[in-house]
Amino acid sequence: MSGAVSKAEPKPRDPDWDAKVRASFARQTFMHTIGAHIASLSPGRCEVELPFRHDLCQQHGYLHGGVITAIAANAAGYAAFSLMPANSSVLGVEYKINLLGIGEGERFFACGSVLKPGRTLSVVRAEVEALRGGVRHPVARMLATMMCMEGRPEPGLEVRA
Amino acid sequence: MSEPMKPRDPDWEVKVRDSFARQSLMQTIGAKIAALTPGTCEIALPYRRDLCQQHGFLHAGITTTIADSAAGYAAFSLMPPGASVLTVEFKVNFMAPAKGERFLARGSVVRSGRALIIVETEVVAQDKGAETPIAEMLATMMCLENTPDRPED
């Protein structure tokens, strides 16, 4: 998806944005636990993919709303983090999610895109879709506020000036 | 705490516990019902290293997951026989890092309507005997009447 989009891509403030985002994601043990990975990444946009698993379900055997929310929050958080300066870290302040359809599908895609990259607060939208029989169905829509903690890099991601 | 609410299903407690037991995600993460009354549900989750975000704190998705289940079952406890519960939407504010030995999500029904139930969930972290509020959720749950609370066969 990167490159050939109609709207101008936001400009990352950290030349190492791609490596930084992937390294941070890799340190989230919960993403390993559920089997989620980054499917695509560009400045201001992050897509997280999760194959369906029977041990992540609610009482009807569909994907639990908490897991749907977790991948949406991560897609939102890393979309925001991709635009943050070096030596900063990202923090979720709040989000609102509407569940639009049941978590039924072979795999799930959460796509986060930054609406406003602020100096301290970024507003991010995330959409979750389920791939069911070759068709993508809407599952959830999130609006999130992410905070940039400047001068507080994640351990191992410090950059010397 | 305020007066207990009146359940519409005499089997409300068995029904809630049975439904919770069928949420495979709760077993996967090690969450349990710690307390249950009509209109309230408390879920406890011990800290685990494999449920973390990049700083080693509990992942916000997990905090939200136990808050959502606590809200859902607080609502479900008041629903009539033969109904099932569905999350419509929620908003969560994160107030402190999820740092602690154990986490508790306390859901309590604010208003129980026929179709929609408004539930508030507070999540606290317990560490060395002290309790810190880490998140607050306001959720809308839906009551689906005459819909079994089990997978379709």
For the question of an ipTM over 0.85, the answer is yes
- CB A66 to CB B65 under 8 A? yes
Q: What's the pLDDT tens digit per position in B71-124?
A: 999 999 999 999 999 999 999 999 999 999 999 999 999 999 999 999 999 999
Mean pLDDT in chain B? 95
Alpha-carbon span A126 to B87, nearest angstrom: 18
- Decide if B65 and A60 are in contact by the 8 Å CB cutoff: no
Q: Could you tell me the pTM of the whole model?
A: 0.92
- Sign, CA dihedral B41-B89-A58-B50, equals negative
Q: Give the pLDDT of residue A160.
A: 73
Using CB atoms, which residue from B55, B64, B89 is nearest to A99? B89
Closest-CA residue of A relative to B147 is: A60
What per-residue confidence (pLDDT) applies to A41? Answer: 98
Q: Give the whole-angstrom CA distance, residue A123 versus residue A17.
A: 18
Q: How would you class B6 by CB atoms within 10 Å of its CB: exposed for 0-12, middle for 13-18, buried for 19 or more?
A: exposed
Q: What is the mean pLDDT of each run of 10 residues along chain A (161 residues)?
A: 62 96 97 98 98 97 97 98 96 96 97 96 98 97 97 84 60
- Shortest alpha-carbon distance between residue B68 and chain A (Å): 7
- Chain B contact residues (CB < 8 Å to A): 19-20, 22-25, 27-28, 49-55, 59-62, 64-66, 68-69, 84, 86-94, 149-152
Which residues from B are below 8 Å from A70, CB to CB?
59-62, 64-65
Asked if B42 and B1 touch (Cβ cutoff 8 Å), the reply is no
